[in-house]
Every structure is written in C-alpha cells, then in structure tokens.
Amino acid sequence: MARLDDALIHQNYGTIDHVVNTTDPRWFDRFYFNMQALDGSLAITQGIGVYPNQQVMDGFGMISTPDFQVNVRGSRELVNGNRDEMDIGPIHAEILEPMKRWRFCLDENEYGVSYDFNYIANFQATEPVRLISDVEGRRVWDWTHFAHVGRVEGWAKIDGKKIALAQDTHYAVRDRSWGVRPGIAVVEDMSAWFKQANWGTGHNWCCVQAETFYFWYFQSQDDDGTGRFFDGQLRWSDKLGGKQEKIAKVVRKIDYTGDKHFVNALVEVHLESGKVLNVNMRRRDTSILLRGGNYGGLNGIIHGMKQGPLVVSGERWEPSDPRKNPVTKGLIEHVVEVTCDGECGSGIFELSFGT
C-alpha cells in the first residue's frame, strides 16, 4: 500500500495506484474508528465517508456508556471536490502520519459531549482485501478494506465532566474501506440479492487485539448461526516478525442470555498455516448502537444521501439497551475483553439486527 491509501481519495476498487471510471452513486471511501476503555465504562465511535458521485461527505461521532449513548451526525456538500478536508460541522478527523497516527475531534455541541484525542498504531495495518459479489449481472458488492489497531491519548467530555484517555487503558480499532456496497446513497430492497447470493440474513464482524497479534473477520450467517460468506486476516506483532496470515475459518460458540443479549464468544481461529488460536471474548459493560451513526438508516436517511450544504443532527438514547429502547435495535457492537493463551486485549464483536 502507498501512504495515500489511508486518505479518503480512492477512485478505484483496489489501491490508489489504479484508477477506474464509475458513475455508481453508491461509490464510497470511508473510515470507521472505535475506542474502548478497558474498564468497560466508555466507548467512542467515529466515522466519515465521502461519496464523490453524490458530492457528499457525511459522518458521526458517538459516545457510549453502560447506561446511555449520545449521537452526533453531520452531512455536507463537498466543496470543490476537496475530499481530504475531513470536517463536517463539529466532527473532525486528521491524518497526522499515514498508517500510524490520526486525530479525532468532536467540538462542543448541543448534545453535551465532546472529545479530542490521537490514535497511535501499535501494529502494522493488514494488507487490503477486496470483496466482490455479482448477482444477475449486477455488481452489488465490490469494496476493498483493511483493518488496523492501536491505542489513544487525549480527553473526552460528557455533561461537563472531562475524562483522561491514556494509551495503557484505552485501546482502539479502525477499518478503512472503499468501493460499492448495499445500503448507500440509494434506498432499495436488497432481500432478493441476499437470497440469490446465499449471503444469509445477518453477519458477525470482529476486530480485536491482544499483545502479540490482532485479527479481523467477517462472517455472514443465517438466523441460526450457520455460516455463509467468510473472510479474515491476522497480523502478528513486529516482535514476532509482523507477518500477516489468512484466516481459513472460525468456529464460534456464542453465549446469550434468555432474551438473546450477547454475553460471551469462544472463537477457534483457524489459520491457513494450520495454527489454531482459542480466543475468548467476554462482553464488557458497554455496547455501541450503530443506528446512531446511520448504519441501516435512521429517520429516513442513509449513508451518502444528499441532505444539503450542511446538516447536523443527533440525540441522546437513555436507556440505550435495545431491549428497553427499540429505536436503537440494529447493528450492535459489543466491547469485549479478549484473552488467549495468557494474553489479554480488547476489541469489538459486532452482531447484526439483534441484541
């Protein structure tokens, strides 16, 4: 990858050294970021995407605690096509050093939350993976992405109380992606495509780090958990050579409460090399309700939709638990404590359309 592959300026399904012409309104280039406090008290999630064929940039900043979640969303028109200016009202992001350090900010706003902190990578980024799916001659899914992990330092403020964020107590994951996928810019019924593509009815995305490795995987699945599409990558620490390995499969034992609230996952991670890691992921006290960032749509708005020169919106969900507040139901990311062969870590275990 080139260093510019970290910037939101892709014009092709692959890396920055290739160019392609497309008028598809769903074309996007975006980042997703999540920070987790190791004591389970706090998570901060931010994302920004650009949609060049829509001339739109949108994004969100969300603060989640065990009891509530505050969402701030923004959308604006692209100005002179300047996709590198990642500023949408109070939401800001800046690449300080490509593939190593980013800055994330949420200015003071009417919703009572703000933050300013730096992300510092502690592993190499995984090499990009391209996911493609065609149905009846239509390319409905074609996007490239890579994952990365690190720590953060800075501060967050909630209802006037300032919280220090330190590298030894606040871990982070991020995902960079670009291309086309369902649910962007155009509202359409994709149920027939999901059925024809044998994609299943939901998915499980995971990105976690331990002391000597981190990995991500994406498993689409049926309601009963039967796996369909799968891909995943693992990166070892530089001390162990920094090698990236493909994950051949995962075998998951997921525990829920009686009302289907996620509690724990024991995951066998089978590498193509033959090595198997037994990774336990125990839910901490905080989950992230991604509908607050417009995943799956909210109030008739989806990612990439034209809203005007500048629109900022948001709300506070209290309680945020979807069992008590149905509006929050959708894609849910659970902050998890990670253990494997004596190592400890943190990360995200995401489940779609459930609790």
What structural domains does the chain harbor?
3-354 (2.40.370.10)
Rounded to whole angstroms, how far apart are CA atoms 115 and 155? Answer: 6
Instruction: Tell me the per-residue pLDDT of 233-291, one tens digit each, with 9 for 90 and over.
Output: 999 999 999 999 999 999 999 999 988 899 999 999 999 999 999 999 999 999 999 99
Query: What's the alpha-carbon Rg for the chain, to the nearest Å?
Result: 19
Listed in sequence order, the DSSP H helices in 73-219 are 191-196
Rounded to whole angstroms, how far apart are CA atoms 150 and 173? Answer: 6
Q: Give how far Cα 323 sits from Cα of 204, 229, 245, 314, 326, Å.
A: 20, 29, 38, 21, 6
Rounded to whole angstroms, how far apart are CA atoms 282 and 120? Answer: 25
Out of 33-37, 187-191, 296-300, 332-336, least confident range: 187-191
Out of 2-16, 112-126, 169-183, least confident range: 2-16
Q: Does the model's pTM come out above 0.85?
A: yes
Task: Output DSSP code: residue 184.
Answer: B
Q: With contact defined as beta carbons under 8 Å apart, do 147 and 207 qualify?
A: yes
What value does the mean pLDDT take over residues 167-192? 90
Rounded to whole angstroms, how far apart are CA atoms 46 and 105? Answer: 9
Q: What angle do CA 195, 198, 201 make, to 5 degrees?
A: 65
Structure tokens at 186: 């155009």
- 2 pLDDT band, cuts 50/70/90, is low
Task: Output DSSP code: residue 49.
Answer: E
113: exposed, middle or buried (Cβ count in 10 Å: 0-12, 13-18, 19+): buried
Structure tokens at 52: 């060049």
Question: HSE of 7 in the Cβ direction (CA atoms, 13 Å)?
Answer: 15
Rounded to whole angstroms, how far apart are CA atoms 180 and 157? Answer: 35
What value does the mean pLDDT take over residues 80-106? 94
Q: Is the pLDDT of residue 355 over 50?
A: no
- 354 pLDDT band, cuts 50/70/90, is very low
Rounded to whole angstroms, how far apart are CA atoms 76 and 41? Answer: 32
Question: HSE of 333 in the Cβ direction (CA atoms, 13 Å)?
Answer: 30
For the chain, how far is it from start to end, CA to CA, in angstroms?
A: 37
Amino acid of residue 276:
V
Rounded to whole angstroms, how far apart are CA atoms 100 and 345? Answer: 20
